Amino acid sequence: MSKTRINLSIDQDLADFAKMFAAENRTTFAEIITQYILSVKKRVEGEAVETVLSHPAFQLAMEEAQSKLRKGTGSWHSYDDVFGS
């Protein structure tokens, strides 16, 4: 399937964290986003969803975020709110 470029703006701290996380897991930021969106698409279409990445913390964080979004209880926080300065 052909790829397209999407410009995504996020906080610099989150971008730095995502790049570091991707490097540690031998993947790319683009692949993390692609796999997350693919898992959302599969869930919406009722297909089985595989683990996005093998890192347990990432899987748990994605499952918690999806649950909050479904329930409408999600709220936005800055990187510093979540991880401290």
For residue range 18-49, list pLDDT tens digits in order.
Answer: 889 888 888 898 988 888 888 888 888 887 66
Task: Please tell me the pTM assigned to this model.
Answer: 0.52
- pLDDT classification of 12: cutoffs 50, 70, 90: very high
pLDDT tens for residues 57-78? 877 887 888 888 788 887 777 8
DSSP secondary structure letter of residue 52? S
pLDDT range class, residue 53, cuts 50, 70, 90:
low
Residue 40: its pLDDT value, please? 84
HSE-up of 12 (CA within 13 Å, CB side)?
Answer: 0
Orientation angle between helical segments 29-44 and 56-71, nearest 10 degrees: 50
**Pick from 23, 13, 24, 30: which is nearest to 77 by CA?**
13
